[in-house]
Homo-oligomer: A and B are copies of this chain.
Amino acid sequence: MVIIMKTTASPEEIQRVEEEVTRFGFRPFINPGVERKVVALLGELNIEKADLVDHFSTFPGVERVALISQPYKLASRSYHPEQTVITVGPMTLGGKRFSVIAGPCSVESREQLLETARAVKAAGAHALRGGAFKPRTSPYSFQGLGRQGLELLAEARAETGLPVVTEVLDPHEIDLVAEFADMLQIGARNSQNFALLQQAGKRKHPVLLKRGPGVKIDDLLMSAEYMVYGGNYQVAICERGITTFEDSTRYTTDMNAVPVLKDKTHLPVVVDPSHATGDRKYVAAIARAALAAGADGLLIEVHPHPEQALSDGFQSLTPDEFSRLLDELRPIAEAVGRTL
């Protein structure tokens, strides 16, 4: 932490900050002989004292306080340099294999789900996604089949062998969802739902944490830290588009987030081009780009009859389009040293 004093700070103000620094067990030092003073805490800021930035910012005479270290620790690559590889049944995330999780936005019926599961399996997907509990912006939209949807997902897994990824909305439903699902999804709207994150940290089930559309990468990694700090290291991070002024697509894919996340964290990184573009005709381009940029996997919406989907049909690929996409991805995977 670096504490920068105002040019107008009085000797008393500087002394008071020095004393407070000392009170917290650090040794202050001050640059000598010049107008603007810098009081820097020696060494790393103890992560448990992250609130000290706020604390020192309020002192009279202080211009600005800057953290030198990241505000997260266990999720950071500097603390834990080896890449984390998550194993979800036959799928791995974070290793050499590039994994594709595919399926419908919502589980709508037995027929719809099984047809999709067979199709994505045949095309080469590694896991099946599908929402049983749906977070919908509108109270008038289809809210999901609930427990029945979970049972259908389990049936699809039994038939295809694909592990199942599905969303959990309520901290008190984690046990229920984890009973059926191989990987819990924490959705974009709940990216900073700390009650949910804390429970997911305790449960130690693999988690796919989606970035909220207004959440900075550093804050997203703090959300991951909640779970890792709780003891659950099996967390994959998913970029799914952020809100910006650009309105030709529903969200803006933050593709920079892929190399940034790979640099900052050891947790696997997944991209969801379906939500990040909101338009089926742009999904394949962003999927290819994510692979080339270094992501570890994709989350793709597939629906056998997009025009009949109860949610997000506009961004869902048909099974044929999905199969063609995987055919496009294979040579790129090889070109960047991955397998698919």
Contact = CB atoms under 8 A, between A and B. Distances in A.
B51 A314 contact: no
A25 interface: no
Interface in A207-254: 212-219, 222-223, 225-226, 229-230, 242-249, 252-254
The 5 closest A-B pairs by CB, nearest first: A214-B214, A243-B245, A331-B335, A292-B292, A259-B285
Interface stretch (A83-91, A110-118, A153-161, A168-176): A168-176
A170 B189 contact: no
A95 interface: no
A16 to B, nearest CB: 9
Interface string A161-183: 00000000111100000000000
Contact of A139 (B31, B225, B290): B225
Task: State the number of copies, please.
Answer: 4
Given A34-B42, A54-B311, A54-B314, 7 more contacts: A36-B44, A36-B68, A244-B245, A244-B252, A253-B255, A255-B289, A289-B289
Interface of A: 2, 4, 7, 29, 31-36, 38, 40, 42-44, 47-51, 54-55, 57-59, 63-64, 66, 68-69, 71-72, 78, 135-142, 169-172, 189-190, 192-195, 198, 212-219, 222-223, 225-226, 229-230, 242-249, 252-260, 262-264, 276-277, 280-282, 285-286, 288-294, 306-314, 316, 328, 331-332, 334-336
Given A214-B214, A216-B245, A216-B248, A286 B137 contact: no
A136 B194 contact: yes
Contacts of A314: 54, 57-58
A334 B38 CA distance: 43
A308 B58 CA distance: 8
B138 A307 contact: no
A243 B174 CA distance: 30
Contacts of A40: 31, 38, 40
A242 B214 contact: yes
Contact of A292 (B57, B243, B288): B288
A289 B335 CA distance: 12
Contact of A336 (B69, B262, B311, B332): B332
A229 B194 contact: no
Contact of A142 (B51, B254, B307, B316): B51
